[in-house]
Structure 1
């Protein structure tokens, strides 16, 4: 049980774990706090969007629907591994779930998975209060693939929050493990994802980052293009190295690079 991280602590924890982050608008203050409490937080819930396409999925998760206003999560995890931050605070993501599951998540005393939930959205405990939520772009039909970059990002997000709150991997569950009327995420097992997270927690934060020595003629753009496959990721390098002047790099300087 813990107070929610501040928005600044939240994004700092993600970046420290090597998560590639893209911020959308005023995500730090976009929430449903006026509709109910936010916290104490006890874990994170992983979802799938049942949508395709990054722009469309991010827009839906940020804005919601007429009968379910956004944000619908805190972050949208795209297939390329980029985590799009769309809201922070109470979000319409978890809905009702089984209070027994919450008890086991708090105690972190279950085996490979929590007990099967017997309550759902209509008759359950308020999960929007107690969980961080991440929507992963996937059709949820069991056929849409889960690229390794996306699975790695889910594990990094989970590990980041677990480190920040001193939780174990058992504080990260799937929506289907919270509510008896949900099936997400479909296409991978949450038990195996918790294994990934537990493995990451045995390493130092940010494992997966590398070091690059600047050579004559390098720019952050050229480094990002050659080492990360996308010149537009120069801003991630700048943030990771706290560079105030993106043009101020010099030959021989060592830079940390985020995960590819």
Structure 2
């Protein structure tokens, strides 16, 4: 048994194991913790999504369905090997499972055949969905299998677990079949995890990324000049930083993250201001120090006033 990693430690562990990570929105705070506890954790569970298309799959596992709200996992492992982090904490991925299987995971032995569903798996497992139709026809690319191995190894390395702390959804819950399909050989996955765990763990932490800095006065000048397009619009590199944050926040389409603080960006920033509780002229889409600082705190940039 173990206490779940913090979101920052989880992210660092994945990166240290060489996982290519895509952070989706405010993933560290997206969870179902109000519905029950998360932890102690005992292992990692792997699923397939029965979906096509990475963008579509990311949206589904992040938002869920009307009958099963998201997040439906902590990370979605795409066919290109990128791991999209969509939530952290309790997630609706495992459901009820077999207590004998949980006992085997805790003992780090091969799980028995599951035949009952009485234990809350959402509490006890890190969960990863993998982009695959699960129809025995959709292939599992080698790069996706490698990402699965690295994800499992990262978590097991941190907690001091062996590869037997990783199970499939089909091991956990009666009637489940995931993950399956051409290229998914679970025994080979576990052997590869064991091989990675037998190597020397990283001795140096990955360097912390340098936070970009946004100059408020320059940003405001760009925001005020570009929407009207009168005269020569002001350009400023910090606009792209802010637009990227607005994309992550879900207020701006990625296609408009182009460094031009035009009407669409003004409207997106106004949505952020309204999210913070501003209204009327205080939510005009022109950045102020407080709203910009809070955006930077949440999405990784600093502000110079």
> TM-score under structure 2 normalisation?
0.66
SS in 2 for 1:45: strand
SS in 1 for 2:102: helix
Question: Any residues of structure 2 matched to 1:160-239 within 5 Å, and which?
Answer: 160-187=154-181, 188-205=184-201
Shift of 1:180: 1.0
Question: Any residues of structure 2 matched to 1:18-37 within 5 Å, and which?
Answer: 18-37=18-37
Can you give the 5+ residue segments of structure 1 that lack an aligned partner in the other structure? 208-238, 247-260
Shift of 1:205: 3.7
Answer yes or no: is 1:137 the counterpart of 2:134: no
Inter-CA distance 245–30: structure 2 relative to 1 (3 Å threshold)? closer
Question: Any residues of structure 2 matched to 1:101-180 within 5 Å, and which?
Answer: 101-110=101-110, 114-120=111-117, 124-180=118-174
Answer whether contact 1:46 1:136 (CA < 8 A) is retained.
Answer: yes
SS in 2 for 1:164: helix
**Cα shift readout 1:162-206 (whole Å, capped 9, x = no counterpart):** 001000000000000011121000122322211110011112346
Q: 1:234 corresponds to which residue?
A: none
Question: Any residues of structure 2 matched to 1:82-101 within 5 Å, and which?
Answer: 82-101=82-101
Can you give the 5+ residue segments of structure 2 that lack an aligned partner in the other structure? 213-305
Answer whether contact 2:12 2:206 (CA < 8 A) is retained.
Answer: no
Inter-CA distance 190–23: structure 2 relative to 1 (3 Å threshold)? same
Among 210, 215, 218, the residue aligned to 1:244: 210
Instruction: Give me the whole-angstrom Cα distance separating, in 1, the residues matched to 2:152 and 2:16.
Output: 12
Q: Which runs of 4+ in 1 moved over 2 A?
A: 204-207, 239-246
Higher relative contact order (CA 8 A, sep 6+): 1
Give the CA RMSD over aligned residues.
1.7
Residue-pair matches, total = 209
**Cα shift readout 1:227-248 (whole Å, capped 9, x = no counterpart):** xxxxxxxxxxxx95445389xx
Q: 1:79 corresponds to which residue?
A: 79
Higher helix share: 2
**Cα shift readout 1:83-109 (whole Å, capped 9, x = no counterpart):** 000000000000011000000100113
Answer whether contact 2:83 2:147 (CA < 8 A) is retained.
Answer: yes
Shift of 1:45: 0.2
